[in-house]
Amino acid sequence: MAEEVQNTDQKSSYRRIFKATSLFGGVQVYQILIQIIKSKFVAILLGPSGFGIAGLYQSAIDLVKQVTSLGISQSAVRDVSEANGTGDIKRISRTVTVLRKIVWWTGMFGLIAVVALSPILSKTSFGNYDYTIPFIVLSVTLLLDQLCAGQRVVLQGMRRLRDLAKCSAIGVTLGLVITVPLYYLFGVDGIVPTMVLNAGASFVIAWIYARKVKLEPVEVTPKETFAEGKNMMTMGLAMSLSGILGMGVAFALRSYIRSIGGTEEVGLYQAGFAIITSYVGLVFSAIGTDYYPRLAAVNKDNQKCKEIICQQGEIGVLILAPMLTICIVFMPILIKILYADSFLAANVFILWCCLGMMFRMASWVISFVFVAKSESKLFIINEFSANTYNLVLSIICYKLWGLTGLGIAFAAEYLVYFVQVFVIAYKRYKFKFNSSFLRIFLSQLLLVSICLTIVFITEGWLKYLLGTILILVCSIESYLVLDEKIGIKEYVNRIIKRGNK
C-alpha cells in the first residue's frame, strides 16, 4: 500500500513537471513565431540601416541594464519561492513588499545611469552625440523593465504559472501590435517611441496579473528593506556579474573569430549559435520557469533537492533528445528555411553543438541548486571558471579546426562543466543522480551519438533513411518512458475530455 502511494506521488510529481514544461514550451514557440514575424516587418519597414540602429539602441540599453538591475529578476525568485513554501501569508507579503521596493531602487538607478551616460552611449554606439536625447528618453525603459521584472518574479515565485504564461503571450503579441503600425507610420523615427511603449505595455500586463496575488499590507522602512533584501541583492549581483562575464567572453571570442576568419565567419557562428540557443534552447527556458521556484522552495532539504533535480533532468532529457536527433538529421533543411544556402557552412558546427546540449541539460539541472541555495560566492567561482575554459577551448579548437572546432569546443566545454558541477554538488550536498536518471540519460545520449555518427559517415538518401529510423527509435523510447512516468495516455485523454465539455 505504501509503495502504491509512493508511485502515485511520483507520477503526480512528474506530471506537474511535464505540464509546466509543456505550458511554457508552447509559450516559447509562440514567442519565437511572433518574433520571426516581427523581424520580417522590421526588416521591410526599416531596412538594414534602421534594423542596425534599433539593434545599437537595444545593445546599449541591455548593457546598462545588466549592470544596474543587480540580477534581481533571477535571484529574487528564490526568496519569493521560499516564502511561498512556508504558507505564511505575513512572510510572503513582507518578502514581496521588500522585492517591490528594491526593483524601484534598481530601476531608478538604471534610469539615472542612462541619463548620465547618454552622451557616452551615443558616441560609442553611433560615433557622434546626435543620439543623446533619444537615449535620455529610453532611460525610462530601464525603470519600466525592472518594475515589470518585479511583478513577473512574484508570479513565478508564487508559481502562478498560467498567469505568467498569459502575461508572456499577451506581452509579445502587444509588442507586435505596437511595433508594426509605428514603424509603418514613422519609420526610423518610431524606434524610440516603440521601445518605450513596449516596455510600458509589458509592465502594465505584468502588474494586472500580479495584483491578483492576495497579500497583506506591510510597512517596511528603507533600512529594513536593505537588511532583508541584502541576500537577494548579493545573489543577484553574483548573477549579474556572471552575465557581464559571459557577454565579455562572447565579445572576445567574436573579435578573435573576426581577426582570423573575417566577418563572414562571425556571421556563420552567430547564425549557428542562434539556432542552438534560441530554437533548441527553448526547452531550457520552458523548464527553468517552473523548475527554479520548485527547487528554491525546498533548498534547505538536500534529499528533496536531489529528487527534484533527478526528476527534472529525466523529463528534460526525454524532451530534448528527440529534438536533437531531428536537428542533427535535417539541419541543412532547417538552415535553408531559417537563413539561406550561404549559411550551410555552419552545419557541422551546429551538429557538434547538438551533442553538447545533452551535457548542458545534465549540468544545467544541477547548477540551479547553487542559485536555489543562494551560494553567491560558489556560483560566481563556478561560472568564472566555466567562462574561462570556454574561451580557452574555443580559441584552441577554432585555431585547429576552424568553425567545426567551435562546435567541438562547445561539446567539450559542457562535458567538463557537467563533471565540475557534479563534483561540487557531490562534495557540498552529497548529491548523486539516481539510477533512473542515469539509465535515461545514457540511453538517450547513445542514440544522439549514433545519430550524429550516421550523419557524419553517410550521405544522401541513406543518411535520411537511417537518421529517420534513429529519430523514431529515440522518440518512441522517450514516449514510452514518459508514459511510464506520468501516464501520458491518461493525461492526454483527460485534456481532450476537458476540452470537449
Whether the per-residue pLDDT at 427 is higher than 90: the answer is yes
- 37-87 residue pLDDT tens: 776 777 777 776 676 677 778 778 888 888 888 887 777 888 888 888 777
Summary count for the chain: helices (H), strands (E): 15, 0
User: For residue 243, what is its C-alpha cell?
Assistant: 552575465
How far apart are the two ends of the chain, measured CA to CA in Å? 34
pLDDT of residue 418: 96
pLDDT of residue 447: 96
Q: Specify the higher pLDDT residue, 1 or 412.
A: 412
Average pLDDT over residues 252-261: 83
Whether the per-residue pLDDT at 17 is higher than 80: the answer is no
Euclidean distance between CA atoms 16 and 472, whole angstroms: 26
Average pLDDT over residues 2-18: 62
Least confident interval from 15-19, 130-134, 390-394, 448-452: 15-19
Q: Hey, which bits of 239-349 come out as E strands?
A: none
pLDDT of residue 2: 44
* Cell 511554457 belongs to residue: 24
- 296-318 residue pLDDT tens: 888 888 999 999 999 989 988 99
Euclidean distance between CA atoms 137 and 193, whole angstroms: 9
Q: By C-alpha distance, which of 284, 322, 321, 315 is closest to 436? A: 315
pLDDT of residue 235: 79
Do the Cβ atoms of 196 and 137 come closer than 8 Å? Answer: yes
The most confident of the ranges 91-105, 123-137, 365-379, 416-430 is 416-430
pLDDT of residue 494: 66
Angle of CA points 237, 243, 249, to nearest 5°: 135
Euclidean distance between CA atoms 237 and 371, whole angstroms: 12
- 438-473 residue pLDDT tens: 999 999 999 999 999 999 999 989 999 999 999 999
Whether the per-residue pLDDT at 251 is higher than 80: the answer is no
- 140-190 residue pLDDT tens: 999 999 999 888 888 888 878 788 888 888 888 898 899 889 888 888 888
Write down the mean pLDDT value for the chain: 85
pLDDT of residue 5: 44
- 106-132 residue pLDDT tens: 899 999 999 999 998 888 777 788 889
Which percentage of the chain shows pLDDT scores above 70?
93
pLDDT of residue 124: 79
pLDDT of residue 154: 86
DSSP 257-283: HHHHH-HHHHHHHHHHHHIIIIIITHH
